Structure 1
Amino acid sequence: MSRSARRRPPARSASGRASGGASGGGRRRAQGRSSRRRRAKPSGGSGKTLVLVALVLVAVLGLGGYVLHDATRATATAGAASTGASTATAAATPSTGPDRAALAPATPSHSAPPTPAAFPTTYPNSAKGTYSYATGGTKRFGTGTLQRYKVAVENGLGVTPAAFAAQVDAILDNTQRGWSARGLWSFQRVSSGPVAFTIYLTSPNTTYHFCEQLIHLDIRESAPGGVNCSNNGDTVVENIARWIDLTQYYKGQPDLYHALAINHEVGHSLHHGHVSCAGAGDPAPVMMQQIKGLHGCVPNGWPYSADGTYITGPPAP
């Protein structure tokens, strides 16, 4: 408020007009108006002050909003950078341990048969001497005389019964070239009840003891790592050393060797004896002891050819 306005405050009535007598009233009213005009200056100054304060507040709020927006954007940018760094680190970190399932593709939404687990590349020379059996069973393979069978794996080999059984089943299910061709035999894996034979996967030392008891054969010097064997009846023994290492004639052909190993020993359970190579260049019969040499024949793991011919040769000496 200005000093002149404080110096001459006019007297006011209850109606808000300047008070006074009849004489000199016009002057007083003029003075009152002058006073009111003088008081208008501080009022105008307050308005400017309010405007200035409002402008300052707008500027402050605007700056605060900018700072807040900039801080939020910086936080989001830092978060994105951190996420990117974490993703890059995870991608660069190799998976360790025997199980790499986390890197496998996502399981499809539709049902699909499980893929047999991969076999290890190493094996123990001795295992526990106890066995786990494959559960469940299969449909009947073929139309001939039915041979039910079980599959067992010695504990401690690092191989699941399901993985080994899946490979055995696939071999015995071949109705074109396997033992079930031509309607002579049929096969079905079961987990209980009577069976024609049981197929075991065992360590080299267990295979040795098994075969010594079954057929009274010392197989330790038969081949490096030993061989497989059968008692020509209810027991088939597959040596994991042979299953993984194969033989010199089947290097790089594991599926073909596995077919040979199963078909040879199951052939004994079907009462087939050993035979020899029929002639140079011919496919080696599965009932030939191929681990001892092919003698001019070429590798073969199936009892029948693609056209249904039984592959055999002269009886072994």
Structure 2
Amino acid sequence: MADGTPPHGVQRVAGEAGASAGAPERARGGHPEHREPGGGWGALGRAAQRGRAASPVRGGVPGPRQEYLAAFDGQEGPESPKSPRSPHSPHSPHGPEGTARPNGAAPAAQRPDPGGVRPPDDGEHVEPEPEPEPEPAGALGPAGGKSRTFAGIVAAAVTTVLAVVVAGQVAAGPKDDDKRARSSEAVERDDDAKASLPGKRPAAPKPPAPPTYEEKLATKNPLSPTLRGPNTFTTVPGHDKAPGRGDVLRYRVDVENELPLEAKLFAQAVQKSLNDERSWAHGGERTFERVSSGDADFVISLASPGTTATWCAKSGLDTTEDNVSCDSAATERIMINAYRWAQGAKTFRDDQMAVYRQMLINHEVGHRLGHDHEGCPRDGALAPVMMQQTKLLRTKNATCRVNAWPFPDAKNAKDAKGAKDAKGAKGAKGQ
């Protein structure tokens, strides 16, 4: 050719080392990378491998421009009209780092030249894009693509149905909960509205009323019959004035320490019992006043069985046999056995605890006033208050009924007298 470029060959390189006049021109074909040091088109190939633009390396002749190479990279070969070949694909004549093709691979010069024209070789070897690999045996063709499309449509439909069902269930739950919550709130508002109306608000439950004196006096308390206290006493504070006429007898109430009994109840029972019309205040002969300080005519003491026995022994009395009480006349103390006060006696029924306690007080104070023991006068009669009712109710052939008062009929007589006086006054008023 006139321009020195043979058909389908490569351009001569002027000034190349080792060229001489008349030497045959080196045509592209075969594997020149096998003959050049460094493997792969000399220095220009190594520069291309490092990603740099080609630079003049052979006798000052510049290499191909990058945009020129990029134009050939975009060409489509006849073997794969729709699949561009990557320079680093497995079918490239060089590996990812520009290494030589393994033995047995077809040289680039033996492949069909796209379009019948090859660009001049300026020192850079540009290979056409590799052919796409054939699909493996058994791969789906056009029919397989339709099958995949149909399967995809079915899977999408099933997924959509499931999503709709789940979404409906999720959406239904909160709505039902909201309905129930709104219904509950409406009921509460109705209740609040009703409660706010006059006369419609439910009354708050009243706290249980504290037990009355009569209820506490009739209730048993647990206590050991062998209990022995510290033999120390505390005076019940307070002052109860004498309510009646006659001689005033002042007394003090002491309760032994560490007793699990109510001291105030005991003091209240003494005051009420002694000043009852049926008791020793009968007829206005005397009246009783409780004091907590100053002089006292006697001391009524509530003490454990052991301490009671100690004080009664000072007056020559033995209370250990039947665990009874006593008037220790040699001392200032009238001893009320706490076990008897708490538990009563077998001669009294459980529903007669209040009667028994009143009897204990009146019996022992009667000793202090100078009265001795008595027996049952006749069968079926009320027992005299000075009878030892803690031990028995029978004397010889007569059995009495329990009684707490020296003058048990006094109240009835007083009530009868009061009723008669009221009737007479009414009649006089009517005349």
Scaled to the shorter chain, the TM-score interval is 0.5 to 0.7
Aligned residues of 1:151 and 1:199 also touching (Cα < 8 A): yes
Could you say which structure has the larger radius of gyration?
2
Match of 1:218 among 298, 306, 318: 318
Question: Does residue 162 in structure 1 map to residue 254 in structure 2?
Answer: no
Which residue of structure 2 aligns with residue 15 of structure 1?
A: none
TM-score by length of 1: 0.59
| Map 1:182-197 → 2, pairs under 5 A | 182-197=283-298
Q: Is 2:359–2:385's contact at 8 Å kept on the other side of the alignment?
A: yes
CA distance in 2, matches of 1:286, 1:210: 23
Question: Following TM superposition, by how much is the alpha carbon of 1:246 offset from its aligned partner in structure 2, in angstroms?
Answer: 1.1
Cα displacement (A) at 1:231: 2.3
Q: Is the partner of 2:251 in helix, strand or coil? A: strand
TM-fit CA distance, 1:76: 6.0
Change (3 A) 1:307 1:117: closer
Deviation at 1:116, TM superposition (A): 8.6
> 1:181 is matched with which residue?
282
- The alpha carbon displacement at 1:236 in A equals 0.8
Distance 2:356 2:220 in 1: 17
State how far apart, in whole Å, the 2-side matches of 1:268 and 1:184 are: 17
Q: Distance in 2 between the 1:301 and 1:251 partners? A: 14
Amino acid at match of 1:140: A
Q: CA deviation at 1:75?
A: 9.7
Q: Does 1:231 align with 2:310?
A: no
1:171 alignment counterpart = 273
Residues 220 and 343 in structure 2, CA contact (< 8 A), matched pair in contact too: no
Measured in 1, the distance between the counterparts of 2:390 and 2:366 equals 16
Q: 1:120 to 1:73 in 2, by over 3 A?
A: farther
Q: Separation in 2 of the partners of 1:273 and 1:308? A: 24
Tell me if structure 1 keeps the 8 A contact 2:311–2:328. Answer: no
User: How far is the alpha carbon of 1:126 from its aligned partner?
Assistant: 1.8
Going from structure 1 to structure 2, the CA distance change for 1:194 and 1:276 (only over 3 Å counts) comes to same
* CA deviation profile, 1:90-112 (whole Å, cap 9, x unmatched): xxxxxxxxxxxxx94278xxxxx
Normalising by structure 2, report the TM-score: 0.44
**Structure 1 residue aligned with 2:403:** 300
Matches of 1:115 and 1:293, distance apart in 2: 26
Shift of 1:249: 1.4
CA contact (8 A) 1:234 1:269 kept: no
Contact between 2:319 and 2:326, CA under 8 Å: does it hold in 1? Answer: no
Q: After superposition, where does 1:123-134 map in structure 2 within 5 Å?
A: 123-124=223-224, 125-134=227-236
Q: Is the 8 A contact 2:347 2:391 kept in 1?
A: no
Structure 1: gaps spanning 5 or more residues: 1-65, 81-102, 108-112, 310-317
Q: How far apart, in 2, do the equivalents of 1:195 and 1:228 lie?
A: 21
Secondary structure, in 3 states, of the residue corresponding to 1:302? Answer: coil
Provide, for residues 248-275 of structure 1, a one-character-per-residue CA deviation record: whole Å limited to 9, x for no partner: 1112201111111000100111111222
Residue 261 of structure 1 aligns to a residue whose secondary structure is helix
Q: Distance in 2 between matches of 1:76 and 1:209?
A: 72
1:290 counterpart SS class: coil
Q: Which one has a larger percent helix, Structure 1 or Structure 2?
A: 1
Aligned-partner Cα distance in 2 for 1:127–1:152: 13
Q: In structure 2, do the counterparts of structure 1 residues 104 and 243 end up closer, same or farther at CA, with 3 Å as the change threshold?
A: farther
1:251 and 2:336 matched: no
Give the superposition deviation at 1:292.
3.0
Contact persistence 1:199–1:237 (CA under 8 A): yes
Segments ≥4 residues shifted beyond 4 Å: 69-77, 113-120
> How many angstroms apart in 2 are the aligned matches of 1:155 and 1:104?
32
Aligned to 1:199: 300
Letter in 1 for 2:324: V
Give the number of equivalent residue pairs: 216
What is the CA distance between 1:114 and its match in structure 2? 8.1
Q: Does the 8 A contact of 2:213 with 2:265 survive in 1?
A: no
Code of the residue aligned with 2:326 in structure 1: it is C
Higher relative contact order (CA 8 A, sep 6+): 1
* CA apart distance, 1:73: 4.7
